[in-house]
Amino acid sequence: MSPVVIVGAGPTGLTLSLLLAKRGMASVLVERDSDPKRHPAAHVLNTRTMEVFREIGVAQELEAACQPQERAAYISWVVSVTGRLLGREPIAPPDLDSILALSPTRAIQFPQNRLEQRLQSRVRESPLIDFRTACTCEAVEPRADQVAVTVRRRGASDTERITGEWLVACDGASSPVRRMLGIRAEGPVLQYMLGIYFTADLSRHVDGRESTLYWLMNPQAPGVLVSYWLPDEWVLNVPYFPPQQQPADFPEPLCRELIYAALGTRDVPDLNVVDVSPWVMSARMAETFQRGRCLLAGDAAHTMPPTGGLGLNTGVQDAHNLAWKLAAVCRGTADASFLRTYELERRTIARRNIDISLQNLARNQAVHALAGASVQRLKLLVAIQNSWPFRQLPASWQAGLVRTAVQFGTRQFLMLDDNGPLGERLRARLTGRLPTGAEHYRIGGDLGGVYRRGAIIAEVASRPDADDPVLTYRPTTSPGARLPHVWLVDREGQRRSLFDLLEADGYLLLVHAEGQPVWDAAIAQARSQTGWPVRCLAIGEGAEHQDPSGTWRPLSEVEPTGAILVRPDGHVAWRTARVESPQHAATALTEALQRLHDSGAASADEAHGTVTGR
C-alpha cells in the first residue's frame, strides 16, 4: 500500500508528488493522458508559487528558461492586433524593485504546457514517485483505514486496484473523483470559451505593441489573444454559447477566420492551428475539501476565472499546504485529524482568490460595457437561448439566431474604429478607465495570504492589516502569515535565503542571537513532551547566521528574547514577543506545540460546522 495516491498530474498533482518525495514520502501518481498537455492554458506563475518551486529545486531552471519579461509586460486593448490601439498598460507595478526584494525568486510568465513538461521530468527522475500515465481512475472506494482506487490503463480490458492510506484528487475542474465521492461544487458557470492555440511568427505585426494580453473589441472576434511564447505561440480565446453552439461548430477554416479578424490581417503565411480546446470559465468551490481519507486540491476543489492568473497558483499552493501535513500524518507525528487544518486554511484563500478574479473580470466587463458590449446583453442572450419557446425552433434557426445575437451584442465595437465624432466620443469614454499596472499585479494577493484559523495560534491583538490587503503587502511574522524573506550569511560566508533554511518535516524556531541559549534549552524540554521536531535558528552577531543588511531585527517584530515558530511551508505558526525566564520559554513553547498538535481536532469541529451549516 502506498502512503498517498494522487489522481491527476496537472500542476497541482505533479507539485504535490514532488513535495512529498522531498520529505521521503512515496506516492502513486495516476494520469489519464499519455503526454503532457499541448494547450498552454496558464502562464502567470506568481512569486509565492515560484517560492514553492524553489523548494523542489525547479525555480532557478524556470527563471533561466523564461522569456525576458520586459518584452511583453503590457496589456493592450485593441480593435485588432494590427488595427486601432485603444490603450496599452504596463503589467508591472511602478514599485517593481521593492517587490523584487521581498522574495528570493520572482513572478514569471511560463506557459503551463512547458511547465508540466519540466515537472514531469522531475517526477520521472524520482524513485519515490510511481508515475502512471494513460491510466484513468474509474472508481474510488474509501474505507476506514485506506482508500482503494480502480484504474484502467488505456486500451486494457482489465482494471487494477491501487490502495493508499490517503487519496488526493488533483483531477481538475470537472474532477471525476469529486463526483465519485458525491461532493458537490457550488458557484456559477460564467462563460463557455474556446481556446484556439496557433503558431505564427507575428513579430512584425506586434512590433512596438508587444503585450501579454490583447483584449479584442472586435465584433468578428470578441475575446482575448494571449501571447505565450514570442514570437510564435498564441492562443485566441473566444466565447461560444451552448447548447446552440458547440466546439464542433468551430472547424479549422472558421478558426483561421477568427484569427485573421483578431490580427486584422490575413498576411500570416506560416499560420498553423495546433489545437482547439473548449474550457469553462467558472467560479466554483467544492462543498468540502475532504471526505474521510480523500482530499481535493487545485481545480478539483475550486475554480476561478483566469482574470488574475490565480487558478494554477492556488492549486500549487494547496499542494504546498497539504504535503507536510500528509507526511506528518503518514509518519505518525500528527493525528489524522491534523489534515482538517488543510481545508480550514485553504478554503479562505481559495475564496479570496475567486473574489480577486471576479473583481478583475468585472473591471474588464466594465471597460467592454463602456465600449458598448454590456454583460447584461450577454445574460439576456443566455436567458433567451435557454427559454422553452426558443428551444422549439429548428436547430439551424436557433444556431443562426444565436450567432446573429452575438454579432448584434458587439456591433458597437465597430464604432471604435470610426474616424468621426461618434468614434472619438466612444474612445474618449475609455480614457483613464483601463485597469492600471497595480491592478493587474496585486502583491498582497500574491504574498499576503494569511491563515486565520488552522494549524496556527492566532494572536488576539495582531497589528491591523495594510490599507488594502490585496493591493498592498506588509511583511509580518504575525501567526498565519508567510514568513518575510531576508538574505542571511552563514559561517562559510554563503548567502542563504531564510526560506532555504526551513525544516521539511518539523518546525523552525527563529530567535535573535542573544536569546539562543534560553531557546535551545526550551526546545530540549519541549521536544521530550511532543513528537514534533523543532530546530532553533539564531540570527545575529556571533550566531550561525548573520544578517548583514540589518533587516531581520525590525522585520521579526519580536524583542531580543522573543521567538517565531515557522511551519515547513513557511507560514508562521506561533510567536512570542518576549519571555521573562528560561522556564517561561520552555512552558510557552511546549504549550504552543501541544496546541498546534491538537489544532486538527479543533479544526474538525469547525469544519464539520461549516459543512452542515450550508
Residue 492, classed as helix, strand or coil, is: coil
Is 172 a binder of ligand FAD (CB under 6 A)? yes
Cα separation of 137 and 255, whole Å? Answer: 33
- Show the binding pattern over residues 265-304: x = contacts ligand FAD (CB under 6 A), - = does not: --------------x------------------xx-----
Is 87 a binder of ligand FAD (CB under 6 A)? no
Among 4, 42, 426, 566, binds ligand FAD (CB under 6 A): 42
- Look up residue 324 and give its three cell numbers: 507536510
Exposed (0-12), middle (13-18) or buried (19+): which is 102, by Cβ within 10 Å?
A: middle
Among 113, 211, 237, 516, binds ligand FAD (CB under 6 A): 237
Q: In this complex, which beta carbon is closest to ligand FAD, that of residue 31 or of residue 345? A: 31
Cα separation of 236 and 264, whole Å? Answer: 13
Residue whose C-alpha cell reads 498592498 in the numeric block = 472
Among 3, 4, 8, 566, binds ligand FAD (CB under 6 A): 8
Is 222 a binder of ligand FAD (CB under 6 A)? no
Among 16, 19, 21, 30, binds ligand FAD (CB under 6 A): 30
Among 55, 171, 345, 557, binds ligand FAD (CB under 6 A): 171
Closest approach, Cβ 500 to ligand FAD, in A, equals: 24
| Residues 270-294 as b or e (16 or more Cβ within 10 Å = b) | ebebeebeebebbbbbbebbbbebb
Binders in 95-114 for ligand FAD, by CB under 6 A: 112
Q: In this complex, which beta carbon is closest to ligand FAD, that of residue 310 or of residue 586? A: 310
Cα separation of 8 and 15, whole Å? Answer: 11
Contact 597, 573 (CB under 8 A): no
Exposed (0-12), middle (13-18) or buried (19+): which is 577, by Cβ within 10 Å?
A: middle
Cα separation of 341 and 81, whole Å? Answer: 47
Among 80, 105, 313, 561, binds ligand FAD (CB under 6 A): 313
Is 310 a binder of ligand FAD (CB under 6 A)? yes
At residue 358's C-alpha, the angle toward residues 353 and 360, to 5°, is 95
**DSSP one-letter code for 80:** S
Q: Measuring CA to CA, which residue among 560, 569, 505 is closest to residue 538?
A: 560
- Show the binding pattern over residues 314-353: x = contacts ligand FAD (CB under 6 A), - = does not: -x--------------------------------------
What DSSP element (H or E) covers 322?
A: helix 311-331
Contact 5, 162 (CB under 8 A): yes
Contact 242, 57 (CB under 8 A): no
Binders in 492-551 for ligand FAD, by CB under 6 A: none
Q: In this complex, which beta carbon is closest to ligand FAD, that of residue 63 or of residue 544? A: 63
Is 137 a binder of ligand FAD (CB under 6 A)? yes
Is 309 a binder of ligand FAD (CB under 6 A)? yes
Is 11 a binder of ligand FAD (CB under 6 A)? yes
- Look up residue 440 and give its three cell numbers: 493587474
Contact range with ligand FAD by CB under 6 A, out of 29-37, 118-126, 553-561, 566-574: 29-37
Closest approach, Cβ 46 to ligand FAD, in A, equals: 7
Binding site for ligand FAD (CB under 6 A): 7-13, 30-33, 41-44, 112, 136-137, 170-172, 176, 195, 237, 279, 298-299, 306, 309-313, 315
